[in-house]
A and B are shown apart, each in its own frame.
Chain A
């Protein structure tokens, strides 16, 4: 139990540092921004209560906000995303009691389901984040391009990151 908490605390710190030091400065073709820190919400165990899930997601978003001066944008999007996580998982994994390990990963869900799950979460987050951002300048074409390409970039980097941090059998 303590080991799990330490593991997720480390993951939180590593993801926040990666996001604010590296990924926040990436903007491919002026549209694609990787929002890799949602990997933390993706990886939290499914047995975790929804209150804890929301609290951790809110804190994650707030930390990113403080670093990138976005004032509440990521906090709001993360809170909403964390609430959407359970329905998304239920969509692909109808019976969660069958899972051998409560932590979603390629091994517990299978490659195809895990990829679908990560892609859905990335799409949801990019839609939420860029819709909130569009309160400042509303430009429909740019909004659409940003959502589509940021989703693709986020998805690819999260999969790569997952391959990097998951221990080999």
Chain B
């Protein structure tokens, strides 16, 4: 017995070392980000508090760029609003004639405004921390966008904060399509630069040009259809002969994220119930 205790004491360093290495490997190889415990992510109370304070200080730094983006977006939206008013007037007239009811597909989405308090673009798996949580109506799997385009999807939610899987994370794949065309492919980050990603599995027969816009497909409940994602830069040779692989310049500037919109889908419970019934 004494020998055994002596043995453990003499080689205790090895046991401690193996214990810590195994512990960190368990964390490291827990690939699915939805299994991460909330206290081991940046949405935990202490970590989020630190980022709250630091974002209060650094939040002013990028305001000039963001303001410019907003002005530009505002201008396009205003133009769109004018066009839509015109269209609405026309449709109303038509409605009176046909006595038909227009469908309201966008009405089922609500937007929750949140501030980014921590953000990374330099790791292979990047995450964003927001200052809104369960108390503000956020739930896992909600889509996140900013004034320019898609940002990511909510992943871990605590009472007042949440962690978002950034688009710059290979765990997140987004179904996208060409604007004005229903053929879709899947967008994924290849880890090279924070401003570019790859659109995979676009069928070969689909025609595209450089500078065409890629938008969300609307096939998932996270994002409404037609939110801009990126612009085609060119094509790289696909692995498969029947599919094209395109290089995409992302419209969202992930290095200067500050205010984002979380998309809440009022019908999500219905859709999920219907989808689980199918399986």
Please report A residues at the B interface, Cβ cutoff 8 Å.
17, 20-21, 24-25, 27, 30, 33, 50-51, 54-55, 58, 61-62, 65-73, 75-76, 79-80, 83, 132-133, 136-137, 139
Segment of B18-26, B135-143, B209-217, B246-254 in the binding face = B18-26
Alpha-carbon gap, A133 to B120, bound state (A): 15
Alpha-carbon gap, A72 to B50, bound state (A): 20
Q: Known: A67-B42, A68-B123. Contact between A75 and B20, CB under 8 A?
A: yes
List the 10 closest pairs (A to B, CB-CB), nearest first.
Answer: A72-B27, A136-B124, A72-B28, A76-B24, A137-B191, A75-B24, A69-B127, A27-B122, A72-B24, A79-B20
What are 29 inter-chain pairs, A to B, with CB distance below 8 A?
A20-B50, A51-B13, A54-B16, A54-B17, A55-B16, A58-B20, A61-B24, A62-B24, A65-B40, A69-B41, A69-B123, A69-B163, A70-B125, A71-B27, A71-B28, A71-B30, A71-B40, A73-B24, A73-B28, A75-B20, A75-B27, A76-B25, A79-B17, A80-B21, A132-B28, A133-B123, A133-B124, A136-B191, A137-B124
Alpha-carbon gap, A65 to B42, bound state (A): 9
Alpha-carbon gap, A71 to B26, bound state (A): 9
Contacting pair A72 B26 (CB below 8 A): yes
In B53-109, which residues have CB < 8 Å from any A CB? 54
Seed contacts A65-B27, A65-B40, A66-B42; 15 additional CB < 8 Å A-B pairs:
A20-B51, A27-B121, A55-B16, A58-B20, A67-B42, A69-B120, A71-B30, A71-B36, A71-B40, A71-B125, A72-B28, A72-B30, A76-B21, A79-B17, A83-B17
Q: Known: A24-B120, A76-B28, A79-B24. Contact between A66 and B41, CB under 8 A?
A: yes
A14 vs chain B, min Cβ distance (A): 13
Alpha-carbon gap, A138 to B76, bound state (A): 41
Alpha-carbon gap, A68 to B120, bound state (A): 8
What are the residues of chain B within 8 A of A30 when measuring CB–CB? 193
What are the residues of chain A within 8 A of B118 when measuring CB–CB? 67
Q: Which residue of B lies closest to A132 (CB)?
A: B28
Alpha-carbon gap, A30 to B39, bound state (A): 30
Contacting pair A68 B12 (CB below 8 A): no
Contacting pair A72 B25 (CB below 8 A): yes
Alpha-carbon gap, A61 to B193, bound state (A): 26
Contacting pair A67 B191 (CB below 8 A): no
Alpha-carbon gap, A72 to B93, bound state (A): 62
Q: Is B133 an interface residue (CB 8 A)?
A: no
What are the residues of chain A within 8 A of B190 when measuring CB–CB? 137
A62 vs chain B, min Cβ distance (A): 8
Q: Is B170 an interface residue (CB 8 A)?
A: yes
What are the residues of chain A within 8 A of B50 when measuring CB–CB? 17, 20-21, 67
B21 vs chain A, min Cβ distance (A): 6
Q: B157-169 vs A: 1/0 string, CB under 8 Å?
A: 0000001000000
A10 vs chain B, min Cβ distance (A): 16
Q: Is B181 an interface residue (CB 8 A)?
A: no
What are the residues of chain A within 8 A of B21 when measuring CB–CB? 76, 79-80
In B1-24, which residues have CB < 8 Å from any A CB? 12-13, 16-17, 20-21, 23-24
Alpha-carbon gap, A56 to B133, bound state (A): 32
What are the residues of chain B within 8 A of A50 when measuring CB–CB? 13, 16
Alpha-carbon gap, A133 to B27, bound state (A): 13
Q: Known: A68-B123, A72-B25, A79-B24. Contact between A51 and B12, CB under 8 A?
A: yes
B147 vs chain A, min Cβ distance (A): 22
Alpha-carbon gap, A133 to B28, bound state (A): 10
Contacting pair B163 A33 (CB below 8 A): no
Alpha-carbon gap, A132 to B24, bound state (A): 11
Contacting pair B125 A51 (CB below 8 A): no
